[in-house]
Amino acid sequence: MNFLQSLPDGWTIYIWLVAGGLIIFAAMYGLRWAYKNEQFDEDIKYLVFDENDKDKMSPEEYAKSREVLAQQVKRREEFLREKAQEKAQHAKQHEDR
């Protein structure tokens, strides 16, 4: 406790500057992660609809919802294929050791 009292006036600003820098860094990292993981997709709202909602939507909205669903299914299949390839490569590397 004596150490903190022996410090000159104004030292706490440096703690605030470091904390602020860490917060900005964390926010930038979070935004980067969100962008890389496709979290900014505006069409995601169409994924909550299914065939039973056809009568509640305009023909354009329904067509858009089916298009978005098809894109998401395709992207999911690509993602799962990539993960399976990574897993196979990892297993192969592990066998080679």
Model confidence at 22, pLDDT cuts 50, 70, 90, reads: very high
User: Is the CB of residue 47 less than 8 Å from the CB of residue 73?
Assistant: no
C-alpha–C-alpha distance, residues 95 and 22, integer Å: 41
pLDDT tens readout for residues 24-44: 999 999 999 999 988 888 888
Give the residue-averaged pLDDT of 32-59. 86
Per-residue pLDDT at 1 exceeds 70: no
- CA separation for the pair 78, 91 (Å, rounded): 20
Q: Does the structure show a pLDDT above 70 at 17?
A: yes
User: Which helix H or strand E contains 35, and what residues bound it?
Assistant: helix 12-36
